Chain A
Amino acid sequence: MKKNLYVLLSLLVLVSMVLAACGGGTEAPATEAPAGEATEAPATEAPAAEPKVATGAWSQEPDNIVPYYTQMSYAIWIVQLTLVGLAEWDDQGSFVPELAAEIPSAANGGVSADGLTITWKLKEGLKWSDGEALTSADVKFTWEQVMDPANAPLSRTGYDKIASVETPDDTTVVITFSELYPGWQTLFTQGPNNAGAILPKHVLEGKTALESDPFIHQPNVFSGPFAITEWVAGDHMILVRNDNFYGSPAILDQVNIKFVPTPETALAALQTGDVDWYPDFSESDIETVGALEPAVHLKVVPGADFEHYFFNLGTTAGVDGKGVADQDGFCPFKDIKVRKAITLGINRQAFVDSLLAGKTTVPVSQWPNSEWENKNLTPASYDPDGAAALLEEAGYVLGDDGIRHGDCNGTDTPLSFTFDTTDKQLRVDIALAVQSDLAKIGVEFKPNHSPAGTFFAGYTDGGIMPTGNYDMAGYTTGFYPDPMPGAIDSFSCNTVPSKDQPAGANNYLICDPQLDELMAAGNATADPATRKVAIDALQQYIFDNYYVVMMYARANVYGYGDRFVPGPFGFFSNMNWNAEVWDVK
């Protein structure tokens, strides 16, 4: 008996040791960049003085780091640091050159009279981190690999409108579109909603199925201010200065990125100095982070994204055969007076002041803080009396249950409806406040929170929005850097999801031919001034019809330690657009 017990205990210990031994070293073997190439690539000499190193904490790990195969914000941030494009958006939201010598325009001959041909001039003497020349051939190769059917990029939007890319010399790229594409600035360039870096022809030429190629996880050639030397899956990434960067070499010798899944841990790490910055606090963390001054600095940058609530405006009848939804939306929402009353009955400014610490604003349209925003509009103020009067006018009177009832298409209908959104805490808090506000005007608002993966499910997966299985819903989105493609996809009759159009992105299920016309006008010209007039009219129309309730402009909330010196923060381009100027005290 005693012997058997010892045998068993020994066996358990042995199993433990074997399992531990199976673990091997502490390094994840596969995602590390080849040491020889990586150290050779940036051509960085170890400085005699103590190296300048800054460490950031990110709440998510990039899925990969090559544009066209990722749509993840964190991946796009890494791309900004390592693989740049022809141009980018600066802290003022201006479009500025990167690899390009100048931004194409009609004045410099870069944009043809018909808007169909764009000519980019590259800077002279550009180099990849391994010393190879970066030329117009790399730009052409980038387009070819995006369009190659043997590759599976996540999006070909815009690139599929290009008829040809010509390279008359090493620094000239002539792009000819098959049809007018006003959003040409989003192609081959870097932005928060687009990662269009140039890819190295001398490394990738001849390869197919790039989505499965090790390069997208272990690139060894870079064009940005930093080069990746180590990526330990789930843990961290190490970047060192790339001395072949087109601009001034980065001030920092090394940037570390640590993947920290909880903001609480990141906050503690900022306080101990384990990390220097965290770029991903929620608006609800503003007061907590702000209280840590002066050891930890808070930076809140109002962004171009917006949180909005919207009505299910779907109809099974459609309009002239277009925009046919699977279900009819909540009947009272078809009445503009009801939509307006709900908008007036929500005290949006109070949420901004209390839950968002007054650091952002109630937006007036879908283009907050952007040059496209219609500055002539003013958000409707909180007016519960006016809201109640509108509901009376629409025929909805208070019942004994405290809820208004009225006739809608011949049916007695209570103003009681569900509201769907994700289970993010800030959304839960705000939905409760909205519930309280609307109760005051006799409207029953019933929040229903789901995980994001469920809430945003597509039509094929029976998602509540595309199938029209909701009354009212809310989430964050943004239409930028180019103002129109996202808006058209979201509001057009042609993109109402259905069995025939399962990928339709029109979650409002709205089909309004006049709206379609206004959007078409906003996309009918490449001339910014003419577009602005059209997009202003579009905003006015959406505003006047109360199609959506604009809740608040989202803010990017950063926390950084006192020793870290970031560059100017951009509202389009976050803090990574000019990482070369980052420093530490």
Chain B
Amino acid sequence: MWAYITRRFIQALFTLLIITVLCFILTRLSADPLAQYATNPNMSSADKEALREKLGLNQPLPVQYFKWLGLAVQGDLGNSFFSKQPVLLMISQRLPNTLKLMLTAEVITILLSLFLGIVSAVKQYSLVDNIITTFSFIGFSMPIFFIALGAILIFAVQFKALGWPYLPTGADIWDQKDPIELVKHMILPVSCLVIITTAGYARFIRTSILEVLGQDYVRTARAKGLSNRVVLYKHALRNAALPLVTIIGLDIPYLLGGALVTESVYAWPGMGRLFWEYAQRGDFPVVLGVLLIISTAVVVFTIITDVVYTFVDPRIRLS
């Protein structure tokens, strides 16, 4: 077991290195960090050149990368070219907001999709199954920006116009220490995230349960005279849930990255917006910092999931 974990961590280090190289190249080739000053008449050519030199952007790309890497392995992700603040500080300011949003959405998504998936599988081809399947496809197919803006239009703008209680757009200043205010401001963005992710999860659970229900051991359980409830929850669901557990385990690190569109539409100050805003500016210390943290989490959680899986499923042994 320990040999396996050690081997995986060594592989993970190489994976992370490759990820950072690719991200660095993509970020540097896609945007010039000084492009924002290109048409600024208040900065002379000499000013721009001095700034490029100060930021080290006039050096060859490999030099720029290894300078960043050298600091990163010491735990210093550098400073943003744009805000001039330490990247770690910027991430620490945004990460809590993203976790609040994404973890809430993830928990609701899991519970809702479990319920819908089970009902849909048990009532296969019934009216309920067809309705759930239809709405799953609608939720799966609709772009998030459409759902997010539509929800604001209906539950904020139109409700207010009708004189009904309405939900905030996210553009107001609110007391983030007040739990009631927090819940009010999370309703719309969390709902949007739940709608688009529940559809996929529910379909996955439905298929997984249907597959298990067709297995020999389920037939054997039924032949033994066990009730449908016992067969479903004691035998079928436990086995059908195994792949779901893997997906959830792998999803957790992605929660750190936030939801770019949802955070933008609802003015939620999270990691997704941080990444997008700074990627557009070619601010590679911030972009690489965010990506490094997400990539590390993905790699670590993958290993944890693999290890934990051995406890859940006795058929699997690591060597």
Contact = CB atoms under 8 A, between A and B. Distances in A.
A456 B37 CA distance: 8
Contacts of A156: 47
Nearest to A156: B47
A142 interface: no
Interface string B24-62: 000010111111111111111111110110100110000
Contact of B43 (A2, A23, A29, A155): A155
Contact of B89 (A30, A238, A453): A30
A5 B241 contact: yes
B41 A485 contact: yes
B201 to A, nearest CB: 14
Contacts of A376: none
Contacts of B17: none
A224 B31 CA distance: 36
B93 A233 contact: yes
B265 A20 contact: no
Contacts of B54: 152
B252 A1 contact: no
Interface string A402-440: 000000000000000000000000000000000000000
A400 to B, nearest CB: 40
B280 interface: yes
A69 interface: yes
Interface in A268-300: 268-269, 271-275
A502 B103 contact: no
Interface in B78-95: 79, 82-85, 89-90, 92-95
B149 interface: yes
A260 B42 contact: no
Interface stretch (B1-9, B67-75, B133-141, B162-170): B162-170
A29 B89 CA distance: 9
B180 to A, nearest CB: 13
A164 interface: no
Interface stretch (B209-217, B223-231, B267-275): B267-275
B171 A269 contact: yes
Contact of A271 (B47, B82, B157): B157
A238 B173 contact: yes
Contacts of B265: 262, 264-265
Interface in A1-54: 1-2, 4-5, 7-9, 11-12, 15-16, 19-20, 22-31
A453 B31 contact: yes
Q: Looking at A60, A155, A157, which has the most chain B CB atoms within 10 Å of its CB?
A: A155
Given A194-B42, A463-B32, A503 B89 contact: no
A533 interface: no
A272 B52 contact: no
Interface in B217-270: 238, 241, 245, 248-249, 252, 255, 264-267, 269-270
A303 B12 CA distance: 54
Q: Looking at A193, A275, A489, which has the most chain B CB atoms within 10 Å of its CB?
A: A489
Contact of A454 (B31, B36, B47, B169): B31
Interface stretch (A198-206, A476-484, A517-525, A540-548): A476-484
Contacts of B97: 23, 26, 234-235
Interface string B159-190: 01100001011111100110000100000000
A396 interface: no
Contacts of B241: 5
Q: Looking at A60, A271, A463, A476, which has the most chain B CB atoms within 10 Å of its CB?
A: A271
A489 to B, nearest CB: 6
Interface stretch (B117-125, B192-200, B288-296, B308-316): B308-316
Given A157-B43, A234-B274, A275 B171 contact: yes
Contacts of A69: 84
A77 to B, nearest CB: 15
B280 A268 contact: no
A268 B154 CA distance: 10
B169 A268 contact: yes
A71 B32 CA distance: 16
A362 B34 CA distance: 30
A194 B95 CA distance: 34
Contact of B93 (A28, A71, A503): A28
Contacts of A216: 84
A154 B266 CA distance: 33
B99 A71 contact: no
Given A157-B42, A265-B170, A453-B32, A272 B156 contact: yes
A256 interface: yes
Contacts of A452: 31, 35-36, 280
A24 B280 contact: no
A269 B156 CA distance: 8
Given A1-B314, A5-B312, A7-B311, A458 B173 contact: no
B144 interface: no
A458 B93 contact: no
A555 interface: no
Contacts of B34: 458
Given A63-B84, A154-B51, A71 B37 contact: yes
A501 B93 contact: no
Contacts of A168: none
Interface in A166-201: 186, 193-194
Contacts of A487: 41
Contact of B35 (A19, A274, A455, A501): A455
Q: Looking at A2, A20, A55, A495, which has the most chain B CB atoms within 10 Å of its CB?
A: A20
A486 interface: yes
Given A453-B36, A486-B42, A505-B45, 12 more contacts: A9-B245, A152-B51, A212-B84, A234-B93, A258-B172, A260-B170, A260-B171, A272-B160, A273-B160, A457-B31, A476-B39, A502-B49
12 contacts: A8-B311, A8-B312, A19-B255, A20-B100, A22-B96, A63-B82, A235-B97, A258-B172, A259-B267, A453-B36, A479-B41, A505-B48
